Homo-oligomer: A and B are copies of this chain.
């Protein structure tokens, strides 16, 4: 794939009891790509069911940039994990809106137990997935046709990608960064973040 020069929109979904590093990892990688290169590779924003503050499972209070009505259609949709994903998949109205966004993306990726969301939307059927080691069985119950890859740090099915738990979202972000923008941008970003990338 040729490295793209265009600015891609990255929408990061937030919800109560989200795991902090699940979303801060990808947010850091894609914004650091801009900072480290001085180029506008990505327009990164957060969104949630409403713009009210969201409390993470780690106690951090975050203000989403957009709600479900105002969020611009992202080219890349990031679905982080955390215990709060159980409430997300029990909310049909919210799922319907996430699915409408997902239909328009170039890539949709889950981190950790964020895999619950593509699982209930049927997006993992026949696809390879990984997730947090504690929820492989949960995901297979939600998506019996999905093919679990417990030893992979992440999986790439083309449009749908998934990562293992928490910190693995950083690794998947670097993988996708290289795929979208090339090795040089990825290397510059990894050096800025002082992150030992092993793809």
Residues of A within 8 A of B (CB): 19-21, 24-25, 27-28, 31-32, 35, 44-46, 53, 57-63, 65, 112, 132-133, 164-168, 170, 191-196
Whether B59 lies near A63 (C-beta < 8 A) is no
Among all A-B residue pairs, the 10 with the closest Cβ atoms: A165-B194, A31-B58, A24-B24, A61-B63, A21-B28, A167-B195, A166-B193, A20-B28, A167-B193, A168-B194
Docked Cα-Cα span, A197 to B104, in Å, equals 38
Docked Cα-Cα span, A62 to B59, in Å, equals 11
Instruction: Name the residue of chain B whose CB is nearest to the CB of A43.
Output: B59
Q: What's the least CB distance linking A57 to chain B, in Å?
A: 7
**Residue in contact with A194 in the complex, picked from B35, B61, B63, B133, CB distance below 8 Å:** B133
Whether A60 lies near B194 (C-beta < 8 A) is no
Instruction: Name the residue of chain B whose CB is nearest to the CB of A193.
Output: B166
Whether A27 lies near B60 (C-beta < 8 A) is yes
Q: What's the least CB distance linking A64 to chain B, in Å?
A: 8
Q: What are 22 A-B contacts defined by CB distance under 8 Å? A: A20-B28, A20-B31, A21-B28, A21-B193, A24-B24, A24-B60, A31-B57, A31-B58, A31-B59, A32-B58, A35-B57, A44-B58, A45-B59, A59-B65, A61-B62, A61-B65, A63-B63, A165-B192, A165-B193, A165-B194, A167-B170, A167-B194
Docked Cα-Cα span, A153 to B111, in Å, equals 26
Whether A25 lies near B21 (C-beta < 8 A) is yes
Residues of B within 8 A of A57 (CB): 31, 35
Docked Cα-Cα span, A168 to B28, in Å, equals 14
Q: What's the least CB distance linking A83 to chain B, in Å?
A: 9
Q: What's the least CB distance linking A76 to chain B, in Å?
A: 15
Contact flag A60-B46 (CB < 8 Å), given A24-B20, A195-B167: yes
Which of A35, A60, A195 gathers most chain B CB within 10 Å? A60
Known: A24-B60, A27-B60, A44-B59. 5 other contacts (CB 8 A): A21-B28, A24-B24, A32-B58, A62-B62, A132-B194
